Amino acid sequence: MKMNFYVVAKLLSATHGLLISGYVAFILSIMAILLKGWQSLEFWIFIILSFSLMMIHHYLSLRLKFDSELIEIIARQSDTVSIENLTQQFDQSLMQFKLMPESKAGRDWSLRFKGCFGLFKLQITLLFIQYFVLITLIYKLLTQ
């Protein structure tokens, strides 16, 4: 079980590379708009869309990094304290800081890992959407 914690923590810590790639797509999108087509309303919509996608992507990256570090701490602490006791302390801390609703306390770690993987997949999906917006924008600029 302890190795599962390390594997999930390592996977989630890969969020930094995805975030950098998202920023590349964002910067290229903004540069394309500013260099060629910033006068039209359609391109202002692209700017707002690109900025919104980047903000969501950045939030997900922060959230996944936070989850990664917490999971790694639990894995290290499991040498001295049982997973069940750590889970209870973990849930209490998260509820105390209002980072988790009481209804989610005591969940099995497989469900928690599934939630983390869902966030990770959402981040990857957002990255694909950002590049799709960039490609669409470049196509529109080239066909004007």
In DSSP notation, 32-78 reads HIIIIITTSHHHHHHHHHHHHHHHHHHHHHHHHHHHHHHHHHHHHHT
Q: Quote the pLDDT of residue 115.
A: 95
35-60 core/surface letters (b: 16 or more CB in 10 A; e: else) = eebeeeeebeebeebbeebbebbbeb
Residues 20, 25: Cα–Cα separation, whole Å: 9
Q: Quote the pLDDT of residue 38.
A: 67
Structure tokens at 93: 């801390």
- Angstrom distances, CA of residue 142 to CA of 38, 42, 132: 14, 15, 15
Query: CB under 8 Å to 102, separation ≥6 — which residues?
Result: 95
pLDDT (tens, 9 = 90+) of the chain, 144 residues, equals 788 999 999 999 989 999 999 999 999 999 988 887 667 788 888 889 999 999 999 999 999 999 999 999 999 998 888 999 999 999 999 999 999 999 999 999 999 999 999 999 999 999 999 999 999 988 988 887
Torsion of CA 26, 59, 68, 122, to 10 degrees: -70
Q: Quote the pLDDT of residue 80.
A: 87
